């Protein structure tokens, strides 16, 4: 059975979804850069080892990443899953775990990489927004895409209401992506593109606003 380490910084919404899904893998540890991250308590309730590596204890990003990598390596994970981990990782760290580091981002990448995705989507007047699970590469939020989910943007949406709808889909697709990875149904080919061993796209179309 595959082993994963989950990295968090906050309340642990996606962590909760992953742990509740009874995935075919072993979560060997949940690690946070913040000691007061709510997700640590969720992990403890599931009987999972928790660790804290505070970025504030290190002079720079590289030294923090070195300490984090040392801790991660002690668990020998097959995948490192970022679930609301609010640190930009150095290229050295990312390259060390290339093909093993997974992230979820609240937009339909490559659109709206970075922060404040929902505000930016509303400002631009897009009609479809969503979320993306992808492999992490040194190019921020531009790694190979595993799965995406889209939601319609409503006329009366605020960043908060749009974020809530997107978050619900994050829970769905992140658990699916990790299930695929842990059962070998998703791999990277020699060209760095995602390959599915069984999954087929059903051709469904989302149009927003609806056609009359």
Structural contact between residues 40 and 50, judged by C-beta atoms closer than 8 angstroms: yes
Strand, helix or coil for residue 77: coil
Q: What is the DSSP letter of 210?
A: P
Active site residue 105: yes
Active-site residue, selected from the candidate residues 46, 55, 105, 171 = 105
Between CA 151 and CA 3 the distance in angstroms is: 32
Sign of the dihedral through C-alpha 124, 140, 61, 82: positive
Residue that is written with structure tokens 């609806």 in the block: 210
Q: What is the DSSP letter of 95?
A: H
Tell me how far CA of residue 165 lies from CA of 8, 74, 98, 124, 153, in angstroms. 21, 37, 30, 18, 9
Sign of the dihedral through C-alpha 34, 36, 37, 41: positive
Tokens of 126: 């897009």
Counting DSSP H helices and E strands in the chain, the numbers are: 6, 9
Catalytic residues: 105
């Amino acid at each position: 059975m595959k082993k994963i380490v989950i990295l968090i910084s906050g309340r642990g919404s996606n962590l909760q979804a992953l742990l509740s899904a009874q995935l075919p893998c072993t979560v060997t540890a949940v690690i946070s850069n913040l000691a007061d991250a709510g997700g640590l308590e969720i992990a403890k309730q599931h009987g999972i080892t928790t660790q804290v590596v505070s970025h504030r204890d290190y002079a720079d990003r590289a030294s923090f990443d070195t300490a984090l990598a040392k801790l991660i390596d002690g668990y020998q994970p097959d995948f490192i899953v970022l679930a609301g981990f609010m640190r930009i990782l150095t290229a050295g760290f990312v390259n060390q775990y290339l093909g093993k580091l997974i992230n979820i981002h609240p937009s339909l990448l490559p659109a709206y990489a970075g922060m404040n995705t929902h505000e930016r989507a509303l400002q631009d007047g897009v009609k479809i927004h969503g979320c993306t699970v992808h492999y992490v590469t040194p190019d921020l939020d531009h790694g190979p895409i595993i799965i995406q989910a889209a939601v319609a943007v409503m006329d009366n949406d605020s960043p908060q209401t749009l974020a809530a709808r997107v978050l619900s889909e994050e829970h769905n697709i992140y658990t699916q992506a990790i299930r695929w990875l842990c059962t070998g149904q998703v791999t990277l080919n020699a060209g760095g593109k995602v390959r599915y061993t069984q999954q087929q796209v059903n051709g469904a179309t989302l149009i927003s606003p609806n056609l009359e």
